[in-house]
Amino acid sequence: MQKPLVSIITITLNLVKNNRVKTFKQCLKSVHDQTYENIEHLVIDGNSSDGTRALLEEYKQKGWIKFVSESDSGVYDAMNKGVFLSKGKYLAFLNSDDFYHNKDGIKESVKCLEKSKAVFSYAPVINFNEKTKKKDEVKPNIKNIFFTITPNHQTMLFNRKIVIKENCFNTKYKCVGDYDMTIRLCLKNYNSVYVKNSFATYRLGGFSEYATKSGLVFKEVSNIYYENYKKFFPITREQSKIICGDIYSGSILDIPIQLAIEFKSFKQYFDYGEYVTELEKLRNNKVYDCKEKDFVYKQKLNEIINSKSWKISQMISKIFKIISFRY
């Protein structure tokens, strides 16, 4: 019985000009060396004008890739194009400067997906700093998905039919459209599965680093929270920014109480028990080693939580006011 086809999609633009030929060849080889027996590697090129198409043609002749080269409106437009050109049951998205360091990665991911019937899989990632040569393994906690950017999309495989059903990537985003799509899948309560062994290496730097430092990531993530969470609760843009907090290692208590109550039904993606525990710790905290306004925030929060005579709606309203005061 033939194993399900996996379509791996890589986006390129002017690799020669941007000094990415070497890393791209590493990317291609890492896909070609996978032990999984049924892979198509699609390269979606944005009409490069620097010799990139000649390089792609070389690897097409080797039988390693299929490619198209035409103008697009950005990376997520190109990814969507790859989705519709692909024929696989599962999709993976591997950037041109990233690579698979574990030859069994796709095989293990498909095995987990087929066994669990999940819509997407995810795994630990190796973050690689080209300058220092330092490698760090990051293990994602899917229960932090609603307030922290996780998991890394290079480690993920998706069910193609569901991706299309849920309208693929939102092309208005420039750097975190993959995170937006993952959140949308989680908010539909689609099942996911964790692949224990890391197999993808993510090269730090480039546009992602620029987008983080320039504030573009924060801007887009806070908008993602606003657009998705307002369907469950009349959240404001300011509250969305508060949830955004530290985008890569946020606090569960950045989630407003009423929204946390709504998230309670998403058990595989939000730990409501942890939320309550952390709220209790905050209530019982008698030592304040933080800024003055945080002291007032905690003090007033204690008063609200301890006031049993208030209705829950009144309590939530006041807590939101305090959160606004805090920030």
pLDDT per residue as tens digits for the range 68-95: 999 999 999 999 999 999 999 999 999 9
* Cα–chain center distance at 96: 18
Q: Would you tell me how many other CB atoms lie within 10 Å of the CB of residue 264?
A: 14
Token readout for 92 is 């993976």
Token readout for 294 is 């945080």
Percent of the chain with pLDDT over 90: 77
Residue 226 included in any domain: no
Would you say the C-alpha torsion 81, 84, 88, 92 has a positive or negative sign?
positive
Q: Are 89 and 2 in contact (CB under 8 A)?
A: no
Residue 219 included in any domain: no
Please state whether the predicted TM-score (pTM) of the whole model is above 0.75: yes
Residues 181 and 280 in one domain: no
pLDDT recorded at residue 307: 45
* Cα–chain center distance at 91: 15
Residue type, 28: L
Q: Are 99 and 17 in contact (CB under 8 A)?
A: no
Residues 36 and 151 in one domain: yes
Q: If you average pLDDT over residues 198-216, what whole number do you get? A: 88
Q: Which of 143, 178, 212 is the last residue of a domain?
A: 212
Residue 73 included in any domain: yes
Buried b (16+ CB within 10 A) or exposed e, 143-157: bbbbbbbbbbbbbbb
Query: For 39-48, what is each residue's pLDDT tens digit?
Result: 999 999 999 9
> CA–CA separation, 106 vs 40, rounded Å?
12
- State the chain's mean pLDDT as an integer: 89
Question: Of 59-68, 238-247, 282-291, 293-302, which gets the smallest average pLDDT?
Answer: 293-302
Question: Of 2-16, 23-37, 43-57, 248-262, which gets the smallest average pLDDT?
Answer: 248-262
pLDDT band for position 300 (cuts 50, 70, 90): very low
pLDDT recorded at residue 296: 41
Query: For 122-161, what is each residue's pLDDT tens digit?
Result: 999 999 998 899 999 999 999 999 999 999 999 999 999 9
Residues 24 and 117 in one domain: yes
pLDDT band for position 248 (cuts 50, 70, 90): confident
pLDDT recorded at residue 88: 98
Q: Distance of CA 222 to CAs 229, 235, 297, Å?
A: 10, 11, 22
Residues 45 and 102 in one domain: yes
Q: If you average pLDDT over residues 251-262, what whole number do you get? A: 92
Q: If you average pLDDT over residues 207-215, what whole number do you get? A: 82
Domain total for the chain? 2
CATH of the domain at 203: 3.90.550.10
Residue 1 included in any domain: no
Looking at the predicted structure, is the pLDDT value of residue 60 above 60? yes
Sorted by sequence, the CB contacts under 8 Å of residue 180 that are 6+ apart come out as: 169, 170, 173, 224, 228
Q: Which of 181, 212, 243 is the last residue of a domain?
A: 212
* Structural domain containing residue 283: 234-326
Q: Are 7 and 94 in contact (CB under 8 A)?
A: no
> CA–CA separation, 184 vs 27, rounded Å?
28
Q: If you average pLDDT over residues 241-246, what whole number do you get? A: 90
Of 224 and 289, which is predicted with more confidence? 224
